[in-house]
Amino acid sequence: MGTGATAENLWTVRECAAYLRMSTSWVYKQVEQNAIPFAKLGHALRFHPQRVREYADTLGGPSAKIIPLRRP
């Protein structure tokens, strides 16, 4: 995590799944396949938001667009 990420600004599996609009089980499968960038902190999986955004840009080809969820 040499990009200045701290534990406070890393996403959980649920936050990553919500951003990608996928299920948490899909995220876990991507982790198992080393398809999505992640970090392990002890037993916990965490995701650097910028790396997930870059990963999302590669999904679905040039016409795919990821729109982040707005939180109330």
pLDDT in tens, 29-46: 999 999 999 999 999 999
- The DSSP bridge partners found for residue 44 are 41
Higher-pLDDT residue of 58, 70: 58
C-alpha pair distances (Å), 39 with each of 10, 36, 58: 9, 10, 19
Which domains, ranges and CATH numbers included, belong to the chain?
Answer: 8-57 (3.90.105)
Residue 58 has what pLDDT? 85
DSSP one-letter string for 20-65: HT--HHHHHHHHHTT-S--EEETTEEEB-HHHHHHHHHTTT-TT--
Residue 60 has what pLDDT? 67
* pLDDT surpasses 80 at 11: yes
Give the closest residue to 45 by CA, choosing from 3, 69, 11, 18.
Answer: 11
